[in-house]
């Protein structure tokens, strides 16, 4: 055991904050290297321990070693002498599917697998890299991300509106904040959703044990999350899965994924939330093989941002855009459609 005590560099002005966390009130004592592994995607314990040894992990203003045990309300900062990679934006000549464009904005159809903005582990190949290659002087949003009015997850496909001017950024951001924009997603979820339509309400916040997930907080714990409302409608019942239309009233991270899991209908093949397991159906080997084939056809969560509507920031005219369900998701739906028909025939005979 060495007696090394980490020190901050003399010139604190040259340090850049890469991560900042405030520990939850209910957190039990846990070594900070283990704790940060739940916070930082793609981080290894060795890298976290090396950062602590360099004096880069600071708790309540003081550098700590990797065996420091976090306590409720601790404020943790991870500092380095170089700026975060996401602040070093580089334009890249990446093709983007532009659905509409004028002098104020553009609407793009993002493919699954494309990250919207650079972040830990994804510093190139993002939509932002493609946008800054194509456009000069895109306005920054409140998080200093050029052009972005809203975002969708890496493995979710579908429509996004991008602001090209400060006026468009302010106007569109206000529409999203005041819930006057319209966003409809198509989702394939596990299980037979009994109600033909309904609304899920539940505050969404970080999962206390798995920081890469979000969860719903209700009752006395509601303050741990932010208000979130999702309206859903059944489009088609396909046996052990259901095709839904989901309309967002709010826009929380992973909102549809979290709300659907909360009501017992996790998105099909949503690995982060447990949907990559067979959650409904039979124990027959043939059925297991069928589901595995569906997973191969659609190697991501079954979620597509299908329609997007908003008032144009310059003309005030309401604009609505629609995009077809992409091939991978459509093929998966077709497989379930055939399976459900086959099951219906078996039950009739």
Catalytic residue positions, numbered:
153
Write down the residue that tokens 């039979």 correspond to.
282
| 155 and 301 Cβ atoms separated by less than 8 Å | yes
Of 21, 2, 3, 123, the residue nearest 79 (C-alpha): 21
73 beta partners: none
Residues listed for the chain: 349
| 157 and 305 Cβ atoms separated by less than 8 Å | yes
Task: Round to whole Å and give the CA distance between 333 and 338.
Answer: 9
Tell me which H or E stretch contains 57: strand 57-59
For residue 130, count other CB atoms closer than 10 A to its CB: 19
Of 323, 330, 298, 322, the residue nearest 113 (C-alpha): 298
Write down the residue that tokens 């459509």 correspond to.
330
Q: Is 111 helix (H, G, I), strand (E, B) or coil?
A: coil
220 Cβ contact list (under 8 Å, min separation 6): none
Task: Round to whole Å and give the CA distance between 235 and 216.
Answer: 25
- Alpha helical stretches, state H, 38-117: 45-53
């Amino acid at each position: 055991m060495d007696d090394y005590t980490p020190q901050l560099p003399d010139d604190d002005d040259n340090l850049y904050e890469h991560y900042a966390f405030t520990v939850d009130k209910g957190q039990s004592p846990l070594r900070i290297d283990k704790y940060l592994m739940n916070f930082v995607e793609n981080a290894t314990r060795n890298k976290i321990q090396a950062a602590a040894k360099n004096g880069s992990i600071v708790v309540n203003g003081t550098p700590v070693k990797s065996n420091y045990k976090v306590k409720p309300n601790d404020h943790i900062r991870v500092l380095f002498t170089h700026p975060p990679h996401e602040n070093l934006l580089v334009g890249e000549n990446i093709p983007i599917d532009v659905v509409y464009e004028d002098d104020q904005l553009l609407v793009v159809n993002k493919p699954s697998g494309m990250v919207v903005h650079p972040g830990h582990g994804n510093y190139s190949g993002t939509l932002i890299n493609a946008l800054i290659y194509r456009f000069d002087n895109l306005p920054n949003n409140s998080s200093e991300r050029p052009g972005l009015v809203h975002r969708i997850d890496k493995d979710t496909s579908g429509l996004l509106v991008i602001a090209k001017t400060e006026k468009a950024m302010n106007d569109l951001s206000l529409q999203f904040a005041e819930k006057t924009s319209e966003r409809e997603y198509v989702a394939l979820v596990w299980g037979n959703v009994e109600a033909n339509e309904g609304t899920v309400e539940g505050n969404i916040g970080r999962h206390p044990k798995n920081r890469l997930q979000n969860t719903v907080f209700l009752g006395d714990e509601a303050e741990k999350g932010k208000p979130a409302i999702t309206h859903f409608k059944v489009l088609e019942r396909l046996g052990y899965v259901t095709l839904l239309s989901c309309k967002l009233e709010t826009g929380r991270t992973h909102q549809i994924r979290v709300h659907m899991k909360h009501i017992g209908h996790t998105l099909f093949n949503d690995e982060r939330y447990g949907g990559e397991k067979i959650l409904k159906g039979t124990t027959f080997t043939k059925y297991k093989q069928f589901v595995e084939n569906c997973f191969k056809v659609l190697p991501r969560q079954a979620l597509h941002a299908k329609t997007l509507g908003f008032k144009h920031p310059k003309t005030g005219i309401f604009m609505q855009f629609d995009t077809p369900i992409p091939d991978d998701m459509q093929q998966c739906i077709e497989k379930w459609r055939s399976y459900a028909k086959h099951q219906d025939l078996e039950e009739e005979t």
